[in-house]
């Protein structure tokens, strides 16, 4: 993957002086879904206050991270502002061995957590809130027992994306989930889907 180029930070808008800052920036949101965090620090001297804003943005589809550090004087933000950017590439895609290990470690517990909440409204009732809570609860339990926790949700991305499927017509992709080795405990997000349930009846015995 190509190295991320520096973003247009639009410093002339003084977004960094607002509380909270207007972050992520439009140039970042244009790359896709993302989440962000920030921290403030201050340095006081006899004549002025130096303000330092450190921001980080995580692109939820790729897990790439960019960090921005902005420093300026309170008395003259535009005349003194200095900005730095650092970019961190997405993590290496997990191997089949890694995915199999993760399934054995987390899959059954994720599925069981979801089954235990059937009939219960979790959070605001949205589907992504359900899995977000599931992963957070399980992560806390795994840490309690000294085990590696599952990846927490980032926006509407839950773990490592391993499959994207677009069906051009009804029934055209029948059986592909099985072929893609989607397993119990894997998390599926469906943009549009039609479910057709088939029940099989036991054959009737005809008296002879």
99-130 pLDDT, tens per residue? 889 999 999 999 999 999 999 999 888 888 89
Q: Mind listing the pLDDT tens digit for each residue in 35-54?
A: 899 999 988 888 899 999 99
Q: Are 73 and 48 in contact (CB under 8 A)?
A: yes
- Give the pLDDT band (50/70/90) at residue 173: low
Indicate whether 175 pLDDT > 80: no
pLDDT at 2: 65
pLDDT at 155: 72
Neighbours of 47 (CB within 10 A): 7
Alpha carbon distance 83, 11 (integer Å): 9
Neighbours of 15 (CB within 10 A): 16
| 163 vs 150, residue with greater confidence | 150
DSSP calls for the chain:
-PPPPPP---GGG-GGGSSS---S-HHHHTTS-EEEEEEEEEEE-SS-EEEEEEEEEEETTT--EEEEEEEEETTBHHHH-EEEEEEEPPPPPPPHHHHHHHIIIIIHHHHHHHHHTTTS--TTS-HHHHHHHHHHHHHHHHHHTT-PPPPPPBTTB-S--------SSTTTTTTHHHHTT--TT-----SS--------PPPPPPP-
pLDDT > 70 in the chain, percent: 86
pLDDT at 111: 94
pLDDT at 205: 61
- Give the pLDDT band (50/70/90) at residue 95: confident
Residues 52-71 have a mean pLDDT of: 91
For 20, phi then psi, to 5°, come to: -80, 160
Indicate whether 15 pLDDT > 80: yes
């Amino acid at each position: 993957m190509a190295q991320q180029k520096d973003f247009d930070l639009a410093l002339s808008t003084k977004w960094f002086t607002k509380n909270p800052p207007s972050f992520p920036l439009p140039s970042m949101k244009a790359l896709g879904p993302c989440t962000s965090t920030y921290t403030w620090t201050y340095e006081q001297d006899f004549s002025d206050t130096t303000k330092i804003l450190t921001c980080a943005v995580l692109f939820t589809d790729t897990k790439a991270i960019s960090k921005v550090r902005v420093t300026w004087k309170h008395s003259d933000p535009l005349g003194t502002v200095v900005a730095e950017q650092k970019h961190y590439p997405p993590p290496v895609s997990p191997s089949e061995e890694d995915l199999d290990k993760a399934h054995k470690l987390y899959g059954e517990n994720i599925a069981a957590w979801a089954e235990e909440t059937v009939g219960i409204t979790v959070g605001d009732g949205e589907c992504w809130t359900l899995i977000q809570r599931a992963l957070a609860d399980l992560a806390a339990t795994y840490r309690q027992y000294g085990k590696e926790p599952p990846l927490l949700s980032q926006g509407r991305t839950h773990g490592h994306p391993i499959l994207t499927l677009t069906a051009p017509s009804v029934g055209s992709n029948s059986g592909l989930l099985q072929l893609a080795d989607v397993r119990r405990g894997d998390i599926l997000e469906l943009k549009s889907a039609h479910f057709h349930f088939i029940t099989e009846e036991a054959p009737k015995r005809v008296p002879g």
